[in-house]
Amino acid sequence: MSDRVFLRGIELFAHHGLYPEEAKLGQRFVVDIDWWLDTRQAARDDDYEETVGYQEVYETVTRVSAEHRFHILEAFAEGIAAAILKRFGRIEKVRVEVHKPSAPIAGVFRDVGVDITRTRG
């Protein structure tokens, strides 16, 4: 049995993107994370050590963004998912949604992004 924990609206300023201007100037990204794990023991014991903390997930996302430069959103999302699964053995599945609201698209739009789900194993 798994429960879903989530963290919404992680705002990052980063230099990801395909075009040289994106690498040079940077832009805003927004990341939403869901992760699945069994929280019953943590809930029964009211014990933080039995779960995965939001702060640690947040730090993992910001570290991946800061330490790597991705050309496409799919690679950015994959990097985040892989880092979370590697760091947190309790997590069975992770969903990563990356939004790029200022993508260089010739037109009027509100948001663009990618949504991936990865499981352990």
CB 43 within 8 A of CB 73: no
Residue 1 pLDDT > 80: no
pLDDT digits (tens, 9 = 90+) for 98-119: 999 988 889 999 999 999 999 9
The alpha carbon of 121 is separated from its chain's Cα centroid by a whole number of angstroms, namely 19
Domains of the chain: 3-119 (3.30.1130.10)
Q: What is the pTM of this model?
A: 0.95
CA angle 86, 55, 15 (to 5 degrees): 75
86 is catalytic: no
Provide the CB-side half-sphere exposure for 107 (13 A, CA).
5
Q: Which of 24, 86, 93, 100 is catalytic?
A: 100
Q: Answer for the pair 57, 34: CB distance below 8 angstroms, yes or no.
A: no
Express each pLDDT in 16-74 by its tens digit: 999 899 889 999 999 999 999 999 999 999 999 999 999 999 999 999 999 999 999 99
User: What mean pLDDT do residues 9-14 have?
Assistant: 97
For residue 5, the cross-strand partners are 35
Residues pairing with 113 in the sheet? 99
Instruction: Give the whole-angstrom CA distance, residue 74 versus residue 96.
Output: 10
Mapped onto helix, strand or coil, the DSSP state of residue 95 is: strand
